[in-house]
Structure 1
């Protein structure tokens, strides 16, 4: 058979390598798209009144944002070190570093909403009648929109990087 014997070994390795590359890319993309959906959900859920149930829901939704961010980062880093393009391609690419900086900025901005959700959750558990003040909600929404604006730039960097721009 064409795949039998030692002559098939390089082909098998290449197919396995391509599968790993595809798998990592798939996990990375699914996590990034999930992040976009979760961020959109947070913006939507904070548009109206925030009662005790909504405060608890926001804390749960935001926890998923953190989980998906960790998965996106892990899959992305695995792609750098185990993917088809190789580590040198990424480390030499300006758009890779811009993408990493944008991801870090989104992560830093997301600390404020996460902190608010945790405080609200604690206050709701102590007093079910707690409602976040309007100024806190407004500040939170500004942070979410800043996150969304920076997050929207990440796929632009990824597309440029994938096409070799920034080398």
Structure 2
């Protein structure tokens, strides 16, 4: 978006069609990812939003380096990491620790070659859906059964 010669914002939309092979069009899951970055005038923070942002900033380690996973044992790492993601989630909010752990899960998912394990039922619906969507993006068609199971 341009106003005169000033860039006001950038928007990107991506559509994912997710379904098993040879599925009728009526059974295809259509996911639209919309991302935007907009420059807006500054305004005072809502105190609740400020508190949330402050907590996320304080709990995010800027020097954090994900553990490097070797080719051997990656499948065990996926299960371990998914259990950790479920245990970190707090009150339905995305904390810095949860986002860091999610980045580790996605790194391992992109490299593993086996079927993805189902998340435990004690994992919150929000986190299960977030992992499912991220796995569809990172792991592609091989994560279809995992994706459908997590949304059920």
Please report the TM-score for the alignment, with normalisation by the length of structure 2. 0.28
**Does 1 or 2 have the higher relative contact order (CA < 8 Å, sep 6+)?**
1
Which protein has the bigger helix share?
Answer: 1
More strand by share: 2
* Larger Cα-atom Rg: 1
